[in-house]
Amino acid sequence: MLKLPTNAFNFIARLFSLCLILLIGYLIIKYGLHDLANNRHNSKLKPVYFLYVLIAGLLFIVTILTISLLGIIKVTEDKSTGTITLSSIIRKTTIATDDIDYYFVTKHIGKYKNFEGLILNLKTNNKIQLVGQNLLSISDFKDYLVDENIMFKGEHEMMFPFN
């Protein structure tokens, strides 16, 4: 039985970033927009437009962080039954190894660290992305796919939001 554990440090760092951005957004909305309502600015350019753009940017970052946190964070493979269990925060899915048609290898080159990943293409044309930002030991799972004679189709770009 092969288990790919969660990349806990990266997961916790993104969760902390999400909380920090939500706090900053709350403070901007509470105090920034409150001061504008009381006309406490002495600029001819209305700063409310800047705050709206800033809030929209923060909401975009919150959305991307939330989507990345809801990705697959644990994979368990059971050779005896031929199944793979994919777990995220909100759901758990089990697929048969025979349901995997082929897979791609993905790479994300970051400023500080490079992340590997896999995209599993199922026979139903659904795609499942496993990323190093959420999982450790992607290479072990890749070795498992090679052992199971699942077709390798080369490299592919990571899917949103990990690209």
- 76 found inside a domain: yes
Specify the pTM.
0.72
pLDDT, one tens digit per residue, over 62-112 is 888 888 788 888 888 888 888 888 888 888 989 998 899 999 998 877 777
In a domain, 163, yes or no: no
Give pLDDT tens digits for 138-157. 888 888 888 888 899 888 88
Q: Within a domain: residue 59? A: yes
Domain CATH code at residue 5: 2.30.29.30
In a domain, 82, yes or no: yes
Query: What is the C-alpha separation between 138 and 79, in angstroms, rounded?
Result: 17
DSSP 8-state symbol, 73:
-
Tell me how crowded residue 162 is: count the other CB atoms within 10 A of its CB. 19
Q: How far is CA 125 from the centre of its chain?
A: 21
Report the domain count for the chain.
1
Domain coverage including residue 24:
1-158
